[in-house]
Amino acid sequence: MTASSDDGNAPQDPARRDFLGTVTAAVATAGAVAACWPFISSMNPSTDVLAEANTEVDLSGIAAGQMQTVAWQGKPIFILHRTPDEITAMAASNGGKDPQPDGQRVKNPQWLVVIALCTHMGCIPNKNSEGWLCPCHGSVYDNSGRILSGPAPRNLDIPPYTFATADKIVIGKS
Amino acid sequence: MSNRVIAWIDQRFPLSSFIKHELTEYPTPRNLSYWWNFGFLAGFVLVLQVVSGLFLAMHYKPDTALAFDSVQHIMRNVNYGWLLRYMHSTGASAFFVVIYLHMARTLYYGSYRAPRELMWWSGQIILLTIMATAFMGYLLPWGQMSYWGAQVITALFGATPFVGDQIVIWLRGGFAVGDPTLTRFFALHYLLPFVIFAMVFIHLIALHSVKSSNPSGINLRAKDNIPFHPYFTIKDFFGLGIFLIVFCAFLFFKPDFFIGTENNIPANPLHTPTHIEPEWYFLPFYAILRAVPDALGGAVAMALSILIYGALPYLDRSKIPGGARYRPIYRLLFYIFVLDIMVLAYVGGQPPVGPVVSINRIATFIYFGVFLVLPFASIWEERWLRARGLPPAVQEILANEASQHGARQ
Query: What total of structural domains would you count in chain A?
Result: 2
Give the number of other Cβ atoms within 10 Å of residue B269's Cβ.
12
Determine, yes or no, domain membership for B356: yes
Summarize the confidence of residues B139-149 as an average pLDDT.
95
Determine, yes or no, domain membership for B18: no
- Any chain B CB within 8 A of the CB of A47? yes
Query: What total of structural domains would you count in chain B?
Result: 2
CATH number, domain containing residue B119: 1.20.810.10
3-state SS, residue B226: strand
Determine, yes or no, domain membership for B211: yes
DSSP annotation of A112: E
Q: Which structural domain, as residue segments, surrounds residue B402?
A: 286-409
CB A156 within 8 A of CB A115: yes
Hey, are the CB atoms on A44 and B79 less than 8 Å from each other? yes
| Minimal CA separation from B356 to chain A, in Å | 45
CB B276 within 8 A of CB B148: yes
How far apart CA B287 and CA B298 sit, in angstroms, is 10
Cis status of the peptide bond prior to B115, with omega within 30 of 0: yes
CA distances from B240 to A159, B37, B102, B103, B137 (A): 51, 8, 14, 18, 25
Residues B208 and B89 grouped into a single domain: yes
> Would you give the distance in Å from CA B228 to the centre of its chain?
24
Secondary structure (DSSP) of A121-153 = T---PEEETTEEE-TTT--EEETT--EEESS--
3-state SS, residue A171: strand
Identify the closest residue of chain A to B78 by CA–CA distance: A46
Hey, are the CB atoms on B76 and A47 less than 8 Å from each other? yes
Determine, yes or no, domain membership for A78: yes
CB A139 within 8 A of CB A83: no
Task: Please confirm, yes or no, whether A120 is among the known catalytic residues.
Answer: no
Pick B84's closest partner by Cβ from A28, A42, A47: A42
Task: Please confirm, yes or no, whether B279 is among the known catalytic residues.
Answer: yes
| Minimal CA separation from B90 to chain A, in Å | 17
Provide CB contacts within 8 A for B391, sequence distance 6+: none
Residues B142 and B251 grouped into a single domain: yes
Which residue among the candidates B22, B33, B208, B294 is catalytic per the annotation? Answer: B208
Residues A93 and A112 grouped into a single domain: yes
Provide CB contacts within 8 A for B316, sequence distance 6+: B110, B112, B113, B330, B374, B375, B378
Give the number of other Cβ atoms within 10 Å of residue B361's Cβ.
17
Pick B51's closest partner by Cβ from A39, A43, A48: A39
For residue B237, the chain A residues in CB contact (below 8 A) are: 28
Residues B161 and B301 grouped into a single domain: no
Residues A23 and A85 grouped into a single domain: no
Residues A82 and A128 grouped into a single domain: yes
Give the number of other Cβ atoms within 10 Å of residue A69's Cβ.
11
Dump pLDDT digits (tens) for A19-64.
Answer: 998 999 999 999 999 999 999 999 999 998 888 788 999 999 999 9
3-state SS, residue A97: coil
Summarize the confidence of residues B303-322 as an average pLDDT.
93
Hey, are the CB atoms on B83 and A43 less than 8 Å from each other? no
Residue B265's Cβ-count burial label (10 Å; 0-12, 13-18, 19+) is middle
How far apart CA B273 and CA B175 sit, in angstroms, is 20
How far apart CA A108 and CA A102 sit, in angstroms, is 10
**What are A78's strand-pairing partners?**
A69, A114
Q: Which pLDDT band, with edges at 50, 70 and 90, does B403 fall under?
A: confident
For residue B84, the chain A residues in CB contact (below 8 A) are: 38-39, 42
Determine, yes or no, domain membership for B134: yes
Residues A30 and A99 grouped into a single domain: no
Residue B347's Cβ-count burial label (10 Å; 0-12, 13-18, 19+) is buried
Tell me how many degrees the CA angle B293-B297-B302 measures, rounded to the nearest 5.
105
| Minimal CA separation from B227 to chain A, in Å | 17
Residues A93 and A31 grouped into a single domain: no
- Any chain B CB within 8 A of the CB of A48? yes
Summarize the confidence of residues A79-90 as an average pLDDT.
94
Residues B300 and B201 grouped into a single domain: no
Q: Which structural domain, as residue segments, surrounds residue A34?
A: 14-44
How far apart CA B75 and CA B145 sit, in angstroms, is 18
How far apart CA B194 and CA A112 sit, in angstroms, is 55
Determine, yes or no, domain membership for A3: no
B370 pLDDT above the threshold of 70 = yes
Residues B51 and B78 grouped into a single domain: yes
| Minimal CA separation from A44 to chain B, in Å | 7
Q: Which of B144, B142, B100, B145 is nearest to B278 (CA)?
A: B145
Q: Which of B103, B64, B55 is nearest to B83 (CA)?
A: B55
A5 pLDDT above the threshold of 50 = no
CB A173 within 8 A of CB A160: yes
Determine, yes or no, domain membership for B26: no
Pick A46's closest partner by Cβ from B51, B55, B78: B78
Query: Phi, psi at residue B268, to the nearest 5°?
Result: -130, 105
Q: What is the pLDDT of residue A3?
A: 47
Percent above pLDDT 90 for chain B? 85
Dump pLDDT digits (tens) for A117-129.
Answer: 999 999 999 999 8
How far apart CA B213 and CA B110 sit, in angstroms, is 9
Residues A74 and A122 grouped into a single domain: yes
Provide CB contacts within 8 A for B149, sequence distance 6+: B135, B138, B139, B276, B278
How far apart CA B21 and CA B41 sit, in angstroms, is 22
Hey, are the CB atoms on A46 and B55 less than 8 Å from each other? no
Residue B140's Cβ-count burial label (10 Å; 0-12, 13-18, 19+) is buried
B322 pLDDT above the threshold of 90 = no
Dump pLDDT digits (tens) for A105-161.
Answer: 999 999 999 999 999 999 999 999 889 999 999 999 999 999 999 999 999 999 999
DSSP annotation of B21: I
Q: What is the pLDDT of residue A1?
A: 42
Residues A68 and A132 grouped into a single domain: yes
Phi/psi-derived region of residue A133, left when phi > 0, alpha when psi is between -120 and 50, beta in every other case: beta
Q: Identify residue B260 by its one-letter amino acid code.
A: G
CB B135 within 8 A of CB B185: no
Secondary structure (DSSP) of A30-89 = HHHHHHHHHHHHTTSPPHHHHGGG-EEEE-TT--TT-EEEEEETTEEEEEEE--HHHHHH
> Would you give the distance in Å from CA B179 to the centre of its chain?
29
Task: Please confirm, yes or no, whether B223 is among the known catalytic residues.
Answer: no
Q: What is the pLDDT of residue B368?
A: 97
Q: What is the pLDDT of residue A120?
A: 93
Q: What is the pLDDT of residue B261?
A: 87
